[in-house]
Amino acid sequence: SLRFQNSIIKNMSKSNDTIIFKSNKLVDFNGSPVDFVIAIKYVYWGTVLMVRTINSVHSPRFIWFIATNEKSCGMVRKISENVRCVFENNIFNGTWSVPKLAKMIVNKKRAGWFFLQQLNFQVAFALDKLSEHYIVWDADTIPTSKQLVFFDYKARKTIFYMNDESITAPEAIAYHNSYELLTGLRVEHPPSRNYVSHFMCFSKEYVKRIIYHIAAWNGVPISKWMVEVTKTIDNPYLGKAGHGNGFADYDMYGSWVSTFHNSRIILKNDWWKTRHIRIDKTPDYDPGACAPSETIYKTWIDKYDTVTLELHKGDSKCTEMPFQHSLTTYPSRAPGWLAEQNFKTR
């Protein structure tokens, strides 16, 4: 089945004809191109590694970055020709921003995190050229294997990769309760699983339906849906443990699609512990280095589907020293092998 990403077979429902799409680019089960969407706060060595591995492993048409400033946009555009970048405030046409969201919640430091998730939904309206199916991808996650596929082309279904961390955790409870507050619907997912796996394939059509539903259920104009989402973050209904953790875009999208379009998805329930890992859990991890050596990186290939660099997000020596525009000079502790223009995973 792994061969379908490059030679995709589409079974037409109204005829016996079979159309074969031969493409080196990622496409959905309709043969349409698929883009990635990544919200970023800053640009660092991990951004370069992420873009080059996404292109090498998955070959999307475009990688759309939603950035906190124009400087970051200028930097990421230089990484690859298929990179597109938009200033985050433009996604809401200047009507909604991190400062506005922060005024509504108790923990101001998490405003950017909640805003990011709202951006992942709003792009379905804001980016006219965005593909009909798009992969929302966390900015600290590196793909390492072609075994990670987003569609079952024979079945014409989207694949959701499940996280098997306990759904009784305070955050998970808050996510679920937030969903029920915002939609009036019961949360849906397999026992002891959730949809927060650092990436997810969204349908623009489904995202728009979710947003329309949130607005209608809460009796507000469509332009105020994100305000209603923000109101749930500190809602007492989330419980004392989950207070301040309301709303998760992946969990909301997964639950909605499982409720209304369950026949269109496949759940990968045995994936999280075997095919995903954090960088500090990998063999030969060097806690004193900002980036893995090329030798260590190659040990990840095909052993895992994704490696998360989350540990370094708060490391000022690693994340606050962006590379130069030439793509030849990196933070002092970042390895030179990342500067190779002909970047390959093998």
- What three-state secondary structure class fits 47? helix
Per-residue pLDDT tens for 16-59? 333 334 457 999 999 999 999 999 988 877 888 899 899 999 99
Per-residue model confidence (pLDDT) at position 17: 33
Q: Which one is predicted more confidently, 142 or 282?
A: 142
> Which DSSP helix (H) or strand (E) runs through 67?
strand 63-67
Identify residue 327 by its one-letter amino acid code.
L
pLDDT value at 336 more than 70: no
User: pTM here?
Assistant: 0.85
- What three-state secondary structure class fits 115? helix
- Count of alpha carbons within 13 angstroms of residue 16, beta-carbon side: 0
Taking the C-alpha atoms of residue 12 and residue 119, their distance in angstroms, rounded to an integer, is 34
Lookup result for tokens 């026949």? 263
Query: Could you tell me the pLDDT band of residue 242, with boundaries at 50, 70 and 90?
Result: low
Phi-psi group of 302: left, alpha or beta (phi > 0 → left; psi -120 to 50 → alpha; rest → beta): left
Distances in Å between the alpha carbon of 240 and those of 104, 177, 236? Answer: 18, 12, 7
Output the six-digit token pair for 194: 């959730």
Contact 162, 197 (CB under 8 A): yes
Within 259-343, strands assigned E span 265-268, 276-278, 306-308
Per-residue exposure over 39-59, b if at least 16 CB sit within 10 Å of its own CB, e if not: bbbbbbbbbbbbbbbbbebbb
To the nearest 10°, report the CA torsion of 218, 220, 226, 228.
-40
Q: Which one is predicted more confidently, 247 or 206?
A: 206
- What three-state secondary structure class fits 23? coil
Specify the pairing of strand 133-137 against strand 63-67: unpaired
**Cα-only R_g, the chain:** 20
- Nearest in space to 80 (alpha carbons), one of 58, 57, 54: 54
- What three-state secondary structure class fits 301? strand
Contact 245, 171 (CB under 8 A): yes
Lookup result for tokens 């994936």? 271
Identify residue 289 by its one-letter amino acid code.
A
pLDDT value at 216 more than 80: yes
Per-residue model confidence (pLDDT) at position 330: 37
Output the six-digit token pair for 38: 């990544």
Mean of the per-residue pLDDT values for the chain? 81
pLDDT value at 278 more than 90: no
Per-residue pLDDT tens for 124-154? 999 999 999 999 999 989 999 999 999 999 9
Contact 6, 24 (CB under 8 A): yes
